Structure 1
Amino acid sequence: MSTTTELPETMHALTFSARGLPPSTLILTTLPLPAHPPGNLLIRTSHASLSPGVSIMMALFPGMAYSYPAVPELDFSGTVVTAPPTTDAGEQADGAFNPGDLVFGSIPVPLHLRGVGALAGYIALPPSTVALLPSHPSISESDMLIQAAGLPVSGCTALTLLKAAKLSKGMRVLINGASGGVGSLVIQMVRAAVGEGGTVVAVCSGRNAEMVRGLGAKEVVDYVAHAPVHAELAKRCREGGQWGEEFDVAIDAYGVQELWNNCAGFLKKDGTWVTVGVAIQEYSVVAMLGAVCKMAGNALWPVWAGGVNRRYVQVMATANGEELRELSGKVESGEIRGVVEGVWGMGEVGEAYEIMKMKSARGKIVVRVER
């Protein structure tokens, strides 16, 4: 193992020791530095981002699923402190990182359930879970560390949605949830995929409309001002309406069941609905089971029995080194940039989690971990 500096014996971290929603279950404490077996990287965490999926796990997974005390969150950016020695075949894909390298990555869920999380001063991880921090001439290194902390899971989900949509130049695409952590990245990728001849229409709240236009939307529909939004979309798409043409693909980056139920009014008969699933409205087992049942019904319910007569594709994604490098390339080429609502300190995570639970953040919510 090679290292950049003498290591401390302890680190600061946010931990939880019982099932429940953050931030009420979290305490800011001191932990021993994580053990890092041969072959693993030891990373000093710079920033981490918050994920609704982690809050769901913390609130709903039985206590036996976690090794307590556990540290929350998965996605991070930071600096390699200790790295395995490189070999003659020392390519990045083979896990060759050096002390001092700036990286971003995501903690695998099985490792997270063993107590490892991103809201800690140091993380020990396999090299396959990280990638070198992207660089771009218009983004400073410090800002890139912030943006990259929000990229891994949201970015890989956006990539998976994009690939499932099978877009081509000139297509008409609708994106729901366009201002969130996933949607703000999807809209940029879709804009590049359909080209200047394509049309990207976004659904979000009016307060985020200007930002979403800046990310690539030709038009924005405010779901608050035009409720129910499915009726507004159908009105604009029908013959003689504002648009007069339906969409080839609809991408739901949030998970609104009502939109899927009524998508025949604005999605072409041979069109595809691509979604992250069905969003739960509250953190309860009943709500989770209800969402699972709806997702199964969306995929399996036949048209003759009342199902929606459109193709339904649901995706799931986790972050791995290959996809992280693909995301990095998109940042470096200027195709995408990370969108961040704001940055909070470790002692301010209560406010950060409350903003996330309001479900109105622009992009990702990031926590500054490094002191």
Structure 2
Amino acid sequence: MKAVLCTKYGSPQVLILQQVPKPAPKENEVLIKIHATTVTSGDVRVRGFKSPLLYWLPMRIFLGIRRPRKPILGVELAGVVEEVGQRVTRFKKGDQVYAMTGMRFGAHAEYTCLREDGIVTHKPQNVTFEEAAAIPFGGTSALHFLRKGKIQSGQNVLIYGASGAVGSAAVQLAKYFDTEVTAVCGPTNLELVKSLGADHVVDYTIEDFTNSNNKYDIIFDAVGKASTSKCQNALKTNGKFVTVDGQGIAKERTEDLEFLKERIESGQMKPVIDRYYKLDQISIAHEYVETGRKKGSVVIRVV
């Protein structure tokens, strides 16, 4: 099968499309023919090995000393079950699924094997494979941190970095939880976040939300560029600041994929896709994601 290998840490040019052995499922695994995957900010950080100095050595040991121990990157996918292990009961051949591979990676390929009890479930019926692949990473991350902030109906919630994969999902989920949402983003994305349901929008290039008189129950930094000290003035008493940077990794749970599936199928949420690339264009996709200007997800068409 074809797969993109990260041959060493470095620029996007270290990514090489190669033929590798097609995996075979174990008795508790499913073999998935991948139709679509994405390039996330996490993929870019691993490929370039961008780590805070304090965590440099432990991360190097965890990921791989000279190059990634798991050379096929990619953490989210959508595709079709091609083969099932003899003990698998949840899925059958031909099922359309979407999934997260987590720290085992492996989605930048034509096939991958996942445990039946892994972060995999049937894909939403009303979206394409490309759209389904754009849901898991941003959706589960947004859900995790909004819950960490103890989101409740009637609250005032601010999403900083509202146009990215995590931020665009957070805006929609915050509206689902019946909150009043203020979305902070750049000028070119104001209409996008309005279309996702934001009640108020702030162009960070001309307005600093921390200097306004507005106070929030939750401030969610979806891009890791704010700080508790900077946002303290904009929080209500007992308000919470949550961020994707430095507050742990979002827990990946199958029930969250099911929850997102329900939101998509009911029309309460939609995937946001910026650009599409082919598998052999993945280095170009990495270059674009690395600019930090993407809206929603960058999708890789495998089939």
Residue aligning to 1:342: 275
1:1-371 to 2 correspondences below 5 Å: 11-21=1-11, 23-60=12-49, 61=60, 62-63=64-65, 66-67=68-69, 70-85=71-86, 90=89, 96-109=90-103, 111-112=104-105, 117-129=106-118, 130-136=120-126, 139=127, 144-194=128-178, 198-226=179-207, 229=208, 233-237=209-213, 245-257=214-226, 259-277=227-245, 295=246, 314-370=247-303
**Contact conserved, 1:160 with 1:315, CA < 8 A, in 2?**
no
> Match of 1:19, as an amino acid?
Y
**Contact conserved, 1:343 with 1:365, CA < 8 A, in 2?**
yes
What is the Cα-based RMSD across aligned positions, in Å? 1.9
> Match of 1:41, as an amino acid?
V
Q: Distance in 2 between matches of 1:170 and 1:124?
A: 42
> Match of 1:79, as an amino acid?
V
Q: Distance in 1 between matches of 2:16 and 2:210?
A: 48
> Match of 1:13, as an amino acid?
A
CA separation of 1:215 and 1:339: change in aligned 2, threshold 3 A: same
Q: Distance in 2 between matches of 1:64 and 1:326?
A: 39
Superimposed CA distance per residue, residues 110-135 of structure 1 (whole angstroms, 9 cap, x where no aligned partner): x33xxxx1111111111222110112
Deviation at 1:147, TM superposition (A): 1.4
Identity rate, percent: 30
CA separation of 1:98 and 1:56: change in aligned 2, threshold 3 A: same
**Contact conserved, 1:184 with 1:363, CA < 8 A, in 2?**
yes
Q: Distance in 2 between matches of 1:37 and 1:264?
A: 50
Deviation at 1:175, TM superposition (A): 0.7
> Match of 1:39, as an amino acid?
N
Q: Matched residue of 2:157: which SS?
A: strand
Q: Matched residue of 1:182: which SS?
A: helix
CA separation of 1:64 and 1:37: change in aligned 2, threshold 3 A: farther
Q: Distance in 1 between matches of 2:99 and 2:147?
A: 21
**Contact conserved, 1:205 with 1:222, CA < 8 A, in 2?**
yes
Deviation at 1:86, TM superposition (A): 6.7
TM (norm. structure 1) is 0.73
> Match of 1:152, as an amino acid?
P
**Contact conserved, 1:84 with 1:97, CA < 8 A, in 2?**
no
TM (norm. structure 2) is 0.89
**Contact conserved, 1:105 with 1:319, CA < 8 A, in 2?**
no
CA separation of 1:55 and 1:318: change in aligned 2, threshold 3 A: farther
Q: Distance in 2 between matches of 1:81 and 1:234?
A: 51
**Contact conserved, 1:339 with 1:364, CA < 8 A, in 2?**
yes
Deviation at 1:28, TM superposition (A): 1.2
Q: Structure 2 regions of 5+ residues with no counterpart?
A: 50-59
Deviation at 1:40, TM superposition (A): 1.0
**Contact conserved, 2:9 with 2:68, CA < 8 A, in 1?**
no
Greater Rg over alpha carbons, structure = 1
Residue aligning to 1:242: none
Q: Distance in 1 between matches of 2:35 and 2:2?
A: 12
Q: Distance in 1 between matches of 2:182 and 2:234?
A: 12
**Contact conserved, 1:153 with 1:318, CA < 8 A, in 2?**
no
Q: Matched residue of 1:63: which SS?
A: coil
**Contact conserved, 1:176 with 1:251, CA < 8 A, in 2?**
yes
> Match of 1:341, as an amino acid?
D
Q: Structure 1 regions of 5+ residues with no counterpart?
A: 1-10, 91-95, 238-244, 278-294, 296-313
Deviation at 1:235, TM superposition (A): 3.9
Deviates more, 1:169-178 or 1:346-355: 346-355
Q: Matched residue of 1:155: which SS?
A: helix
